[in-house]
Amino acid sequence: MGKPSEGPVGESQAFPGAARLPRNLSTRTSVLLAFVVTMLACMLSGALKNMAGEIAAIWLANAVLLGQMMVAAPRQRYWVLAGGIAGNVVANLFGETLAVSLSYSLADTLEVLVAFSFAPRVSTVSELLRPKALVRFLSGSVAVAPVLSGLVATALLRGQLIGHLLPDLANWIVSDALSLVIFTPAAIVIWNGEAADLLRADRRLKNVGLLLLVCAVSTGVFAQSQFPLLYWALLPIVLLAFQADLAGVMMGLLLCLAIAVVCTMRGVGPLWMFPYPNMEARIFSLQLFLLAALSIALPISATQVSRGLLVGLLREGERRYRILAENATDIVMSMTLEGTLTYVSPRAQTVMRRNPDDVIGAYLPDLVIADDRDALAAAIENVAIGASEVSQVNRYRRPDGQILWLETYLRPVIDPFSGQPEALTATTRDITARKTAEQRLADERLELQGLAFRDGLTGLYNRRYFDLELENQWTQLAQSGGSAVTAVVMIDIDAYKSYNDHYGHQRGDDCLRTIAQTIALSARRPTDIVARYGGEEFALILRETDSAGALVVAERIRQAVEGLQVPHHASDMGVVTVSLGVAARQPRPDFDAASLVAAADRALYEAKRRGRNQTFVAEDAAADPDSHT
């Protein structure tokens, strides 16, 4: 047996970070894990012995190593054993001679090898509970391995210990048998990752709550010595058996034992209420209690596992039947009259990238994007109160971020006795491809419209769009009968022909683009329309703007262009400038929009005539021609 075990008190310390032992671990990593874990388990057992002052009746190291070998890949099992032997030897060397250390290690190695030869090869702890596998495991770990290892240890260590008492053969066999039976399944759930799965997001809250309950009850039972409450510690273990899987049961048992050992060694707990001769007897009793708890909880848990498998088989059979009966290209759903899903066909996995079981119980409108939820909820309510069929198109965001367009047909399920709807069915089809094609056509139409109404050189609206927009605005305001005023600003680049002749057409196009951008930035309202009217001429429509407001915009444009300081050596100004004509009028049925453009054009001509680089307002013809506002 080696040095006495410290039980589950040190288990979490014995293998930190080893909550999962994947089968694809490298051999070197597996050997290193076996070495470290076995060494720490032996050393912690020695620490427990020193704390107790007597022989500790728990031997954890062999169970931990056996569990690792049972779940390891076939080619790694004996490498794992080698690492465990090395760790055992190193740990036993602390405080013992080489001969004694090797004797302990040889006995432990024999015990692990014999138990492993009987033990089944498993990947989950539930496989260990199958009748044949369980009989093989118990035969090796209870009847054969501890007896052989005890005989070998007795023979090797006889006469070699000075001042130390070797546990007699009966104690050796009982201690190792109990430890192998109790801790090997616990080691399996840790090495194969089942313990880590307890913290999975979908089950974390429940499992953590149950394990905390085990800790709380165990602390209440073992932290006092006034009342014989020992078997009250069984209640949360039994609850775990009903509510969690086998891994949860094993972790609960380990937590219970860890708390029990700590409290008992500190001299408190119900075990101190009985006249045990020493600490060793108390620890033996504690292990027997744990074995009783295991005997109660494991059959319950195994039954729950079998029930879960049966339910899974029934669901699988139902799923197969429905696949054959339903339209394979559509998602078929059943729901309550309120819209809570009770069934979702497997097609949801392909279309929506959602497991059908994950969305059962969800409110159907919650699955679509927020903007479409109210419409779908209204459709469900409409069918629930008597409509024979309602179709609804909604958008759904898949987990990968893609937006799907889904067309859903809702129908009621009529109760044959009352003739009233008792549930709803929905057939959902993915119409994303159709919507994408429609959007593509719409985009193409928009692009063609843009090409028809945009100037290719400057990117501004062209004269055709300017005329149409001005006519529309004029008609709307004239028919409304309001007092709103519309203004037009005509802009012309001064001496542009000379600029082209002097700098060339490429520089002339660059100049047009620069002026166009400056004008667009100066017309700041979203309703302002800026267009290239033709050649070097630009035009603005300023909705609900009078002459004074239009003059402010025009002067802003003139000053901005002049401020560009674009060289123009063929002009008297030395830089590129613009002249502007402004006209504003209240739209009325007896005037047309063309008259407003004509007035602004005449104002532009007047600005040119008066010397260029200025703004002239049609209504202000008598104003000082040299004044700039």
Residue ranges of domains in the chain: 1-194, 198-325, 331-435, 454-620
Is 162 or 603 the better-scoring residue by pLDDT? 603
**Phi/psi at 54 (nearest 5 deg)?**
-140, -170
Average pLDDT over residues 476-493: 88
pLDDT at 577 over 90: yes
Is 134 or 482 the better-scoring residue by pLDDT? 134
> CA-CA distance, 262 to 269, in Å (whole number)?
10
The top-scoring range by mean pLDDT among 16-25, 52-61, 143-152, 503-512 is 503-512
pLDDT at 223 over 50: yes
Is 384 or 17 the better-scoring residue by pLDDT? 384
Average pLDDT over residues 562-566: 92
Q: What is the CATH number of domain 454-620?
A: 3.30.70.270
Average pLDDT over residues 533-542: 92
Pairing of strands 390-397, 578-585: unpaired
Q: At what angle do helices 169-191 and 279-325 cross, to 10 degrees?
A: 30
Buried-exposed string 211-249: b where 16+ CB fall within 10 A, e elsewhere: bebbbebbbebbeeeeeeebeebbebbbbbbebbbbbbb
> CA-CA distance, 460 to 453, in Å (whole number)?
9
Q: What is the pLDDT of residues 229-239, one digit of tens each?
A: 888 888 888 88
Multiple choice CATH, 331-435, 3.30.450.20, 3.40.50.1400, 3.30.420.40, 3.40.50.720: 3.30.450.20
The two counts, helices (H) then strands (E), for the chain are 23, 12
> CA-CA distance, 252 to 244, in Å (whole number)?
10
pLDDT at 450 over 70: no
User: In this predicted structure, which of 5-9, 148-152, 188-192, 377-381 has the lowest mean pLDDT?
Assistant: 5-9
What pLDDT does 356 receive?
85
Confidence of residue 10 (pLDDT cuts 50, 70, 90): very low
pLDDT at 21 over 60: no
Q: What is the pLDDT of residues 269-287, one digit of tens each?
A: 888 888 877 777 777 787 7
Average pLDDT over residues 493-508: 91
Is 460 or 44 the better-scoring residue by pLDDT? 460
pLDDT at 46 over 80: no
pLDDT at 7 over 80: no
Q: Tokens 């193409």 map to which residue?
A: 444
> CA-CA distance, 249 to 246, in Å (whole number)?
5
What pLDDT does 513 receive?
92
> CA-CA distance, 51 to 44, in Å (whole number)?
10
For 566: left if phi > 0, alpha if psi spans -120 to 50, otherwise beta; the answer is beta
What mean pLDDT value characterizes the chain?
A: 82
What pLDDT does 387 receive?
84
Of 513, 565, 526, 547, the closest CA to residue 616 belongs to 547
> CA-CA distance, 135 to 141, in Å (whole number)?
10
What pLDDT does 326 receive?
58
pLDDT at 267 over 60: yes
Is 30 or 519 the better-scoring residue by pLDDT? 519
The type of residue at 58 is I
pLDDT at 55 over 60: no
Of 617, 487, 594, the closest CA to residue 543 belongs to 487
> CA-CA distance, 228 to 529, in Å (whole number)?
91
Q: Using an 8 Å Cβ cutoff, are 574 and 494 in contact?
A: no
Vertex 322: Cα angle to 317 and 327 (nearest 5): 155
Buried-exposed string 337-360: b where 16+ CB fall within 10 A, e elsewhere: bebebeebbbbbeebbebebeebb
pLDDT at 606 over 90: yes
> CA-CA distance, 76 to 81, in Å (whole number)?
9
pLDDT at 12 over 70: no
Q: Which two tokens stand for residue 318?
A: 């139902």
pLDDT at 463 over 50: yes
What pLDDT does 621 receive?
35
